[in-house]
């Protein structure tokens, strides 16, 4: 049994301890992150971009997710393991979501599954939670909706959009989500959503007021050959090794010094 459980992550929020999370897609990096002290390792469908070289996360399949999750699970002995449900593996019906979430847990070693979307996904979240599957929501910029959103843009910038994100967050918590990822929203909105919820809110481009932070590993190590988002930071300069860079990320998250204003949206 892993020492970092969903309950332990939720207790960190209550104790006002910041939560550090990074993505991983393979055994060796997963073991390094676990050793370096991240609280959660996320097998994101960002693997479609950083591992497979696609322009978006849309082509990622369930088989891809199960394969990478199983590799990562072998490397993680302490941190909580969250795995993404890829595009169209959960939107079709709650029953399909349950089958695929079950695969991520049985074959991929996931402890928590993550899915994108707010109010329209609340029933699916409740369906999974009622059947024993811990769920992480993902709202704000939801990359699987990139074509509907018209690109990878900051969300929640006007009053109506900000209100919708606050409502989405509330509904997901009510539906039983264990935690939320909030992506690319103004820092003030990130702080407000985090303060309003009992469950932890993990920001990526959502400001320092969130309960924790997540980054894509390749971005924070400066390995991704395409431009990285403004909200990311390369921790390699000044670090003697990859492990030192990961430790620097964890320390910066814990101290509340990452993200700074330069990685946040106003």
Residue from the set 112, 216, 248, 253 that interacts with ligand KIV by CB under 6 A:
216
Q: CA nearest 195: which of 204, 206, 117?
A: 206
Distance CA 183, CA 1 (A): 30
Smallest distance, Å, CB 43 to ligand KIV? 8
Q: Kindly tell me which of 76 and 160 has the beta carbon lying closer to ligand KIV.
A: 76
Q: Are 27 and 74 in contact (CB under 8 A)?
A: yes
- Alpha helix (H) ranges present in the chain? 6-14, 27-36, 47-50, 62-75, 94-106, 122-130, 146-149, 159-174, 187-196, 217-220, 242-255
Is 198 catalytic? The answer is no
Residue from the set 34, 39, 64, 84 that interacts with ligand KIV by CB under 6 A:
84
Query: For residues 12-51, which are near ligand KIV according to CB under 6 A?
Result: 23, 42, 44-46
Judged by CB under 6 A, does residue 4 bind ligand KIV?
Answer: no
Catalytic residue, chosen from 116, 167, 174, 183, is: 183
Query: For residues 228-257, which are near ligand KIV according to CB under 6 A?
Result: none
Judged by CB under 6 A, does residue 181 bind ligand KIV?
Answer: yes
Q: Kindly tell me which of 51 and 70 has the beta carbon lying closer to ligand KIV.
A: 51
Judged by CB under 6 A, does residue 101 bind ligand KIV?
Answer: no
Residue from the set 204, 220, 242, 253 that interacts with ligand KIV by CB under 6 A:
204
Q: Is the peptide bond before 116 cis (omega within 30 degrees of 0)?
A: no
Distance CA 266, CA 109 (A): 38
Distance CA 82, CA 138 (A): 12
**Torsion sign, CA atoms 63, 53, 185, 149:** negative
Smallest distance, Å, CB 1 to ligand KIV? 25
Q: Kindly tell me which of 60 and 175 has the beta carbon lying closer to ligand KIV.
A: 60
- Which two three-digit tokens encode residue 22? 């990074």
Smallest distance, Å, CB 134 to ligand KIV? 16
- Residues with active-site annotation: 183
Interface residue list for ligand KIV (CB under 6 A): 23, 42, 44-46, 84, 138, 181, 204, 214, 216
């Amino acid at each position: 049994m892993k020492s970092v459980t969903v309950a332990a992550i939720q207790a960190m929020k209550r104790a006002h301890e910041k939560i550090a999370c990074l993505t991983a897609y393979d055994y060796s990096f997963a073991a390094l992150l676990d050793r370096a002290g991240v609280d959660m390792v996320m097998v994101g469908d960002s693997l479609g971009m950083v591992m497979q070289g696609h322009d978006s996360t849309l082509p990622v399949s369930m088989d891809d997710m199960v394969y990478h999750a199983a590799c990562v699970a072998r490397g993680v002995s302490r941190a909580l393991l969250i795995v993404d449900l890829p595009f169209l593996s959960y939107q079709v019906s709650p029953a399909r979501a349950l089958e695929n979430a079950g695969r991520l847990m049985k074959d991929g070693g996931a402890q928590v599954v993550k899915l994108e979307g707010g109010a329209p996904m609340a029933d699916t979240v409740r369906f999974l939670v009622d059947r024993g599957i811990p769920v992480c929501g993902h709202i704000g910029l939801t990359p699987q909706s990139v074509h509907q959103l018209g690109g990878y843009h900051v969300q929640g910038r006007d009053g109506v959009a900000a209100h919708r994100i606050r409502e989405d967050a509330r509904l997901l918590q009510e539906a039983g989500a264990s935690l939320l990822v909030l992506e690319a929203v103004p820092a003030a909105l990130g702080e407000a959503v985090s303060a309003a919820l009992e469950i932890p809110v993990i920001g990526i481009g959502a400001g320092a007021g969130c309960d924790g932070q997540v980054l894509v590993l390749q971005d924070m190590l400066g390995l991704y050959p395409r431009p990285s988002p403004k909200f990311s930071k390369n921790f390699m300069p000044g670090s003697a090794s990859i492990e030192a860079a990961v430790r620097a990320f964890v320390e910066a998250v814990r101290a509340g010094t990452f993200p700074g204003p330069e990685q946040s949206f106003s």
